[in-house]
Amino acid sequence: MAKSTKGASDFLRSNTAMAALLPALSRMATLQKAVASGLPAMFTACEILNFETGVLVMSAPNAALAARLKQQLPKLQDRLLKDGWQVNSIRIKVQVGKIAPPPAPKRVVELTDNALSSFSELSNTLSTDPRSQGLKEAIDAMIRRRAARA
């Protein structure tokens, strides 16, 4: 039995309640593109939240970007009016944490041969006391992992 795949728009069209959302989604996507083309590249993180009765509500990921965006609003509003959008005013909402920063690069620290031999010596000098057993096992596992990489 072959599986058929459906796109998101096909799914929305098949459900009558969801089909009513399609024109609004299409309008918001078109408006988002118009806003993106009217702003410098530094504002790519800013998005359209709402557009009703001539009031455009945009989001900014932080206050600094919101302040810079506020300076661009008259120019953006003029551009949108020329493109046929009836934008009477533009509001900005700061939504902190909306866009996650890229993860920090993983830092790999390699042990020198001298450090490895010191850990090996430490492991050999630890007593067989049950309180030291966890530390001894951890040191031995670290030495084995390092030896497997080399």
Q: Give the chain as a 3 state SS string.
A: CCCCCCCHHHHHHHCHHHHCHHHHHHHHHHHHHHHHHHCCHHHCCCEEEEEECCEEEEEECCHHHHHHHHHHHHHHHHHHHHCCCCCCEEEEEECCCCCCCCCCCCCCCCCCHHHHHHHHHHHHHCCCCHHHHHHHHHHHHHHHHHHHHC
Same domain, 36 and 68: yes
pLDDT tens by residue, 11-39: 767 777 777 777 888 888 999 999 999 88
**What's the pLDDT band for 6 if we cut at 50, 70, 90?**
low
In a domain, 4, yes or no: no
Q: How many domains does the chain have?
A: 2
Same domain, 128 and 84: no
pLDDT tens by residue, 118-128: 999 999 998 88
In a domain, 2, yes or no: no
Same domain, 50 and 117: no
Same domain, 47 and 88: yes
In a domain, 80, yes or no: yes
pLDDT tens by residue, 49-101: 999 999 999 999 889 999 999 999 999 999 999 999 999 999 999 988 755 56
Higher pLDDT, 2 or 10: 10
In a domain, 103, yes or no: no
Same domain, 79 and 117: no
Contacts of 68 (CB under 8 A, 6+ apart): 42, 43
pTM score: 0.55
Same domain, 26 and 56: yes
Same domain, 117 and 83: no
Same domain, 18 and 87: yes
Q: What per-residue confidence (pLDDT) applies to 127?
A: 84
In a domain, 104, yes or no: no
Q: What's the gap between Cα 124 and its chain centre?
A: 47
For residue 68, what are the domain limits?
11-94
Spatial distance between the Cα atoms of 36 and 122, rounded to a whole number of angstroms: 61
Mutual orientation of helices 63-82 and 21-38 as an angle, nearest 10°?
Answer: 100
In a domain, 47, yes or no: yes
In a domain, 105, yes or no: no
Pairing state between β 89-94 and 47-52: unpaired
Domain of 15: which CATH number?
3.30.300.180
